[in-house]
Amino acid sequence: MDKTEEIDHFSGTEQEREEVIQHYHILDLPRLAIEAANVGTWIIDEATRVFIASHRVKELFGYGPEEDLSFEVAMKQIQEKYRTKVIAGIDEAISKDLPYHMDYPVTGFHDQKLRWVKAVGGLYKDPEGKFSHFSGVMMDITDQKEKELRKNKFIGMVSHELKTPLTTLKAYVQMLHVWAKKRKDSFTIGTLTKVEKQVKKMSSMINGFLNLSQVESGKIQLLVQDFDICEVIREAIEETSLLNSTHIIAFSTCDPVIINADRDKIEQVIINLLSNAIKYSPKGTPVIINCEATNDTVAVSVKDEGMGMKKKDIKKLFERYYRVESKDTEKIPGFGIGLYLCSEIIKHHHGQIWVESKPGEGSTFFFRLPLQKQATDL
C-alpha cells in the first residue's frame, strides 16, 4: 500500500493523523516518486544560466554527490558529436519557449563509463508571468538504447545482404528483357515487365531500411551538388508512375529552380510523398505536385484527395514507425518509416516539412528548402 492510502485509512485521532501527514511529507510525494524511479532532476536559471543538478544527475555524469557539477563541466562529458546539438537544443528551448527532449551519450567523469541519457524539460514561469527557470528530469536509457542500436545494426546488415543478390537479379532481368525484345516475344516481355516492377518495389523497401539504419547510426553522408529540382520532380513522377498506374500525377512544369542539396535523397523524399499520396487515396483520383520558388527558398507540395488524417495523427506522423490506425489504413501495408526518413533528410538540409489534412478530404504534404548551400551530413 502506498503512503497516501495508508494515511487515508488511518484509524487514530485527528491529531495523530496530522502528525503522520507531517512525518510522510505528503507534499514531497512527487520528489519521492522521482527518486524511487531513479530519475535525476536539474534546473538552469534562465537569467544567470546557473545549473543545479540532483545527486542522480551527478551520478549519470560520473560525479560524486557532493562534487560540484557546473553547466560547462556537464557539457564536456557529452560525446563531442552530440554536444553542439544538446547546447543548441537547450538554447532554442529557452529562447523559443519550446518543450525540450533529447537522448545523448555521456562519458562518466570518474568511471569513464558510457551511459545514454534522456533529458526532458521546459521553461517554467514565475507567478508574474516572466520566465524563471528551465528545468526537467533525466533518466538512464542505456539498456534501451543498446537494444535499439543492436536492432538497427541488424536491420542494416540484413538490408545490405539482401541488396546484393537483388541487384544481380535486376541485371539478369534487364538482359532477358533485351533478349525477349529482339525475339519479339510479347509474352516474355509482359512477364519480365511485371518481374521488374516487383524487383523495383522490393529494392525501394530495402533501400528504406538501409537508409533508416544509416540515419539512426549517423552514418549517412549528404552528397551535395547544384541541380534543378523541377527536373528531379519530373524524374520522380516517372519513377512513381512506372510502379503505380492507378493515378494521374499532375505537375505544371516550372522554370528551372537550382538548389544545392543531395539530389538522390531529395528525389527519394518526392517519391515517398507521391507513393503515399497514391497509396492513401482512391484509384483514379488526382495527385497534384507543385513547386514554387521565392528569393531564397523553394517549396514543393504534394496534394491528394484521399482519406486524410486527424489532428492527433498529424502530430506524430513524422515519428519513426508511426502509422495511423483506422479501418481505412488497416489493409494498406507499410512500415511507418517513409515520412520519418523524409523528415530527417529535410531537417539535415535545414528545411521544413509539414502536412495539412482533414479526414475524408485529403492531404497536402509540403517541404521547403533553402536555395543556397546549407546542407550538413546526417
Site residues (vs ligand ADP, CB under 6 A): 276-277, 280, 304, 306-309, 317, 322-324, 329, 334-340, 363
- Stretch (H or E) spanning 24: helix 14-24
Nearer to ligand ADP, 7 or 158 (CB): 158
Nearer to ligand ADP, 53 or 212 (CB): 212
Nearer to ligand ADP, 203 or 374 (CB): 203
Task: In angstroms, give the least distance from the CB of 338 to ligand ADP.
Answer: 3
Nearer to ligand ADP, 140 or 344 (CB): 344
Task: Please give the full DSSP string across 259-297, using - where no structure is assigned.
Answer: EEEEHHHHHHHHHHHHHHHHHTS-TT--EEEEEEE-SSE
Task: In angstroms, give the least distance from the CB of 280 to ligand ADP.
Answer: 3
Pairing outcome for strands 297-304 and 362-370: antiparallel
How distant, in Å, are the alpha carbons of 58, 154, 162 from that of 321?
34, 16, 21
Using CA of residue 93, residue 94, residue 99, residue 101, what is the dihedral sign? positive
Nearer to ligand ADP, 240 or 363 (CB): 363
Task: In angstroms, give the least distance from the CB of 300 to ligand ADP.
Answer: 14
Give the position of cell 551527478: 58
Nearer to ligand ADP, 123 or 309 (CB): 309
Residue 46 C-alpha cell reads as 534562465
Task: In angstroms, give the least distance from the CB of 299 to ligand ADP.
Answer: 17
Task: In angstroms, give the least distance from the CB of 22 to ligand ADP.
Answer: 53
The torsion region of residue 284 among left (phi > 0), alpha (psi -120 to 50) and beta comes to: left
Q: Are 256 and 232 in contact (CB under 8 A)?
A: no
Using CA of residue 369, residue 372, residue 375, residue 376, what is the dihedral sign? negative
Task: In angstroms, give the least distance from the CB of 187 to ligand ADP.
Answer: 34
Residue, CB closest to ligand ADP = 334
